[in-house]
Structure 1
């Protein structure tokens, strides 16, 4: 694939030096192949909500794989806590470096929107992945799965364990995370429509911290003695709620599901503390993000159905919403979760 030269070698070298000096930033090794040597021609940066957790590290692995195969430089850096201001500082740094394409999974979509405008004004292609900022100038949102698919699958999996009725609570992460809030809204609607004998009693927010999620889940069980379900709506709260049930000795009495990475959920799935982990192929989401960045840089656009790779032969794109959809969610169980290494 031919990559257009947008920034000069001097700027690319300066950007690379700055990234290497920032100890927590990763990039693909340009010496791995002839294609990767073209990395100075195109630089795609990804700023996750939080760096260092398995979920976003798996996305980084997928993005680096795309860089190796398609021939571009992949930059990855996020805040060490799920902090919107810290994330904004990293976005500003990439704008100053003059990257070609900038992807962000925003902690606070509204506060990030002006920065995305600033990046676009500087000639940078801007997009979101994993989490959207729909009221911004982003050119595409690389979406892991539809909100309806995620929310309904969470509820259906939990209700199967709970026998279709009972009270449950939700432990989310960031209170302003657009994707998490959209899934919770779907859960409310689907619960009311499909399971009239069930009820959501509370929604709490633990940030991106597993220990806090465990503490909050424990408090919820104490506040609602008749609680029979807990949902962790992010990859730190999913193991968090399962740990709370384990600590309380209530496996088989309070059922949990959540959006957890397979590796983190294996012990809980095997013990019965979790009845199912709903997610998607996170490395594939990172790969799709890198591929989409190349399409933006080349002004190639997106087809209604896109062959991204042999592993992603039919990725759908909705032109009206500018959403590139990875596919339906997956349900990880004790039988299949151990097959994944993230």
Structure 2
């Protein structure tokens, strides 16, 4: 009896620790499952908060499978024009399965130079630049060339003698300037000895072309119109408003103002309205952003040369796609510019 009792006791004792070990194993497994779920959730949150500016789920998946990665440095990502251009890039990149890494240079050449260096360190497959400083950007392009990374420019070209750009994609800005000049001639038709001012940004190549076309069209179509001032405001609305205040004081009979972009034109419009001269000073802008179209519809701006930034973005990615596939893109891809007036407003 005692032997059988000892055996029963031994079996109970053996069964007890076994269950406890099983419970510990089960508890450990549960902990591992909970930990894995937590890591998955955190990973998902991290991906959603990333600033890598992927082109979407398809592009991200493609990148993992060896897709191409394109670094994009935009000089001012807050501008409506560049937002539209970026949207065009993203749509095309998604179509081809490319990943975009988009960063904002914030109108700072040093920052843009550093961004190119970062792209090189990341070993991206191509770089797109909208240079803030068309001349100074050359040294950064050289660095990318030395790293065997192709460089493309969109909207604004490099004027540096350094570095090689595969292709430049932009509006035909001389033609666009002529369209703006034509609008100004229409706005001032019939006026006696009309005078106009230009709110400029001469350090930017695309703006140089716009102003060139504008002046050429005035000389050809309405030679009686005299340009009495050409002042820079850096393409910024606040500065443009301040410049326009000064212009209206120095030229009280000013007939018109050409703003080289819509921020310049809208800044001038604010000053004209504040001076009580709305409708007396014709304002022509460039870009036809949503805000400018609203002003044109209301009659506070006469009209705009209208660019197609989404097409610029899409064509830039298209040129890169051709390059990746062994084709040689045209060195300059020009996008036509049209006009937008109150008659076009809906």
- 1:324 pairs, out of 325, 328, 333, with 333
Task: Give the equivalent residue in structure 2 for 1:201.
Answer: 228
1:13-68 CA-partner distances (Å, limit 9, x unpaired): xxxxxxx899765221134797x567742112221221112111111111110011
For residues 25 and 238 of structure 1, do their structure 2 counterparts lie closer, same or farther at Cα, with a shift above 3 Å needed? farther
Find out whether 1:281 has 2:308 as its counterpart.
Answer: yes
Contact 2:59 2:99 (C-alpha < 8 Å) held by counterparts = no
Contact 1:128 1:140 (C-alpha < 8 Å) held by counterparts = yes
1:291-321 CA-partner distances (Å, limit 9, x unpaired): 111122223123xxxxxxxxxxxxxx4xxxx
- 1:43 pairs, out of 69, 72, 89, with 69
Unaligned runs of 5+ in 2: 1-46
| Residues 19-98 of structure 1: pairs in structure 2 closer than 5 A | 26-31=53-58, 36=62, 40-80=66-106, 82-98=107-123
| Residues 103-114 of structure 1: pairs in structure 2 closer than 5 A | 103-114=128-139
Task: Give the equivalent residue in structure 2 for 1:5.
Answer: none
- 1:231 pairs, out of 246, 258, 276, with 258
Contact 2:262 2:289 (C-alpha < 8 Å) held by counterparts = no
Deviation at 1:76, TM superposition (A): 1.3
For residues 205 and 101 of structure 1, do their structure 2 counterparts lie closer, same or farther at Cα, with a shift above 3 Å needed? same
| Alpha-carbon distance in 2 for matches of 1:155, 1:266 | 18
Task: Give the equivalent residue in structure 1 for 2:183.
Answer: 157
Q: How does the TM-score come out when normalised to structure 1? A: 0.80
- 2:241 pairs, out of 210, 214, 221, with 214
Q: Which secondary structure state, in structure 1, belongs to the residue aligned with residue 277 of structure 2?
A: coil
| Alpha-carbon distance in 1 for matches of 2:262, 2:206 | 13
Contact 2:180 2:214 (C-alpha < 8 Å) held by counterparts = yes
Contact 1:59 1:286 (C-alpha < 8 Å) held by counterparts = yes
Deviation at 1:110, TM superposition (A): 1.3
Aligned length: 297
Contact 1:262 1:332 (C-alpha < 8 Å) held by counterparts = no
| Alpha-carbon distance in 2 for matches of 1:31, 1:51 | 24
Task: Give the equivalent residue in structure 1 for 2:197.
Answer: 169
What value does the CA root-mean-square deviation take over the aligned residues? 2.5
- 1:269 pairs, out of 296, 301, 304, with 296
Find out whether 1:123 has 2:148 as its counterpart.
Answer: yes
Unaligned runs of 5+ in 1: 1-19, 303-316
| Alpha-carbon distance in 2 for matches of 1:22, 1:180 | 36
Q: Which has the higher helix share?
A: 2
For residues 211 and 25 of structure 1, do their structure 2 counterparts lie closer, same or farther at Cα, with a shift above 3 Å needed? farther
| Alpha-carbon distance in 1 for matches of 2:181, 2:56 | 42
Deviation at 1:189, TM superposition (A): 2.9
Q: How does the TM-score come out when normalised to structure 2? A: 0.79
Contact 2:125 2:149 (C-alpha < 8 Å) held by counterparts = yes
1:156-184 CA-partner distances (Å, limit 9, x unpaired): 001100116611111123x3111101221
Deviation at 1:198, TM superposition (A): 0.9
Contact 1:39 1:71 (C-alpha < 8 Å) held by counterparts = no
For residues 170 and 21 of structure 1, do their structure 2 counterparts lie closer, same or farther at Cα, with a shift above 3 Å needed? farther
Task: Give the equivalent residue in structure 2 for 1:11.
Answer: none
Find out whether 1:333 has 2:341 as its counterpart.
Answer: yes
**Structure exhibiting the larger radius of gyration computed from Cα positions:** 2
